[in-house]
Amino acid sequence: MAEISQGGGDGGKKGGKIRSKKTSTRIDMTPMVDLAFLLLTFFVMTTTLQKPETMEITMPEKDDKEPPKVNERHVLTLIMGPSDKIYWYIGITDPEVKVTNFSKEGIRKLLLTKKVEIPKLIVLIKSMDESRYKNMVDILDEMNINSVQRYAIVDITKTDKDLIKESRL
Amino acid sequence: MAKVRGHRGGSPTIDMTPMVDLAFLLVTFFMLTTKFNEPDPIAIDTPTSVSTIKIPDKDVLTISISKDGRVLFNMDGQYNRAELLNKMGTIYNVQFDKREAHSFALLSSMGIPMGSLKQYLDMDVDERKLVSQPGIPTDSLHNELADWILQARLTNRRLRIAIKGDRDSNYPVVKRVIKTLIDKKVNRFNLITNMEKAS
């Protein structure tokens, strides 16, 4: 099968002496080929060429500087609630809390309409303790998809919790 | 040659040399590109995102957060790992010998508090698999993760920090980890995600 015939057979011997059979040094390559393919299969199967993706986020530095003042009418607050709910409201004084979800009709539509309504939109992302890590990644993803330029992840306050409790959504 | 063969009438020989060449070429390629990363002791199901940035090949510190809120630490680079272990040992007054440093260098993610790390490193590989890892303490009173991060950054200055969280892990744990990072002046970090499936 896999073998090299060495010695070239009838090199210069035109005389055709049949008995001059050279003890040709043939190497049986079969085991080597077997091994080569075994290794090949092994490495093909174990290699992972795909690397996971990452999302880069930059958090503001922790300092005691006064945070920049913004017009409260430009601020959209999103609160990640339990069981994948998103509570949202605009402004700070007596806001009306509404609820939405992570579907295309939910948060994406909300962000797109708000972006048109409020050109200087700032989004505050707050997460309740009941929310999952997935919610945070999803909402950051939505920010990227809808190209919301200004957003921040902030801690939830007691006022927020009370607002949600009052709204009974 | 062909004439001579014809006379014999045996099985036709195929010259396999080019095939073997190719096979070995491929073997070499895959051997060199394969990276054996030890499987994580805890399975982590990362959330999906549309992000397309790939994680860097080296100088990565990974903080894994499991579904039940345990925190695991991983850093690449064997030499750096051994050095890091010694630094951590000095802080926590634990002496690690060469063998323990070596087995730490070969570990993947680990979530063992400093108190029982020495004991864990003394076990052999099969025994270690049976140990359930409690996770690295991240409480504000006893924050070992903060020390790991600080010392790792002192060991390898080019380190990038990535958080690999399970999609179902609770937010408070994630918040604690992020807070620890910010406390240690790490304001830029990566969240490891999977490719979004086309919906």
Distance from CA of A28 to the nearest CA of B (A): 11
Distance from CA of A121 to the nearest CA of B (A): 22
Is the CB of B55 less than 8 angstroms away from the CB of A52? Answer: yes
Alpha helices in B9-113 (DSSP H): 17-33, 78-92, 98-105
pLDDT of residue B7 exceeding 60, the answer is no
pLDDT of residue B8 exceeding 60, the answer is no
pLDDT: is A69 or B151 the higher one? B151
Interface test with A, best of B5, B171, B182, B184 (most A CBs within 10 A): B171
Is the CB of A33 less than 8 angstroms away from the CB of B19? Answer: yes
Q: How many A-B residue pairs are in contact by the CB < 8 A criterion?
A: 161
According to the model, what pLDDT value does residue A18 have?
Answer: 60
Q: Which residues contact A5 (CB under 8 A, 6 or more apart)?
A: A24, A26, B1, B13
Tokens 């007054």, located at residue: B93
Distance from CA of B70 to the nearest CA of A (A): 13
According to the model, what pLDDT value does residue B36 have?
Answer: 64
Mind listing the pLDDT tens digit for each residue in A14-62? 455 566 566 677 777 788 888 888 888 888 777 766 667 777 777 777 6
In A, minimum Cα distance to B188 occurs at A58
According to the model, what pLDDT value does residue A139 have?
Answer: 85
Distances, alpha carbon B125 to alpha carbons B77, B107, B108, B129, in Å: 20, 10, 12, 7
Q: Which CATH class is domain A72-167?
A: alpha beta
Distances, alpha carbon B70 to alpha carbons A134, B76, B123, B164, in Å: 16, 20, 21, 12
Residue ranges of B 120-179 with Cβ closer than 8 A to chain A: 162, 165-172, 174-175, 178
According to the model, what pLDDT value does residue A16 have?
Answer: 52
pLDDT of residue B2 exceeding 60, the answer is no
Query: Structural domain boundaries of chain A?
Result: 72-167
d(CA B148, CA B151): 5
Interface test with B, best of A5, A38, A55, A85 (most B CBs within 10 A): A55
According to the model, what pLDDT value does residue B197 have?
Answer: 64
According to the model, what pLDDT value does residue A64 have?
Answer: 62
In B, minimum Cα distance to A84 occurs at B168
DSSP string of B63-87?
EEE-TTS-EEEEE--HHHHHHHHHH
Distances, alpha carbon A84 to alpha carbons A16, A78, B161, B199, in Å: 89, 12, 27, 18
According to the model, what pLDDT value does residue A63 have?
Answer: 67
Which of A3, A36, A56 is nearest residue B190 as measured by Cβ atoms? A56
Element (H, E) at A153: strand A151-154
Say if CB B163 and CB B174 are below 8 A apart.
yes
The mean pLDDT of chain B is 79
Mind listing the pLDDT tens digit for each residue in B85-117? 888 888 888 888 888 888 888 777 788 888 788
According to the model, what pLDDT value does residue B39 have?
Answer: 64
According to the model, what pLDDT value does residue A9 have?
Answer: 45
According to the model, what pLDDT value does residue A10 have?
Answer: 45
In B, minimum Cα distance to A134 occurs at B167
Is the CB of A61 less than 8 angstroms away from the CB of B31? Answer: no
Beta-sheet pairing, B71-75 with A27-28:
unpaired
Q: Which residues contact A40 (CB under 8 A, 6 or more apart)?
A: B23, B26, B27, B30
Percent of chain B with pLDDT over 70: 90
Say if CB B71 and CB B145 are below 8 A apart.
yes
According to the model, what pLDDT value does residue B88 have?
Answer: 82
Is the CB of A134 less than 8 angstroms away from the CB of B24? Answer: no
Range B161-185 average pLDDT: 83
Is the CB of B13 less than 8 angstroms away from the CB of A5? Answer: yes
Q: Which residues of chain A have pLDDT under 50?
A: 7-14
Residue ranges of A 128-147 with Cβ closer than 8 A to chain B: 128-138, 140-141, 144-145
d(CA B116, CA B134): 10
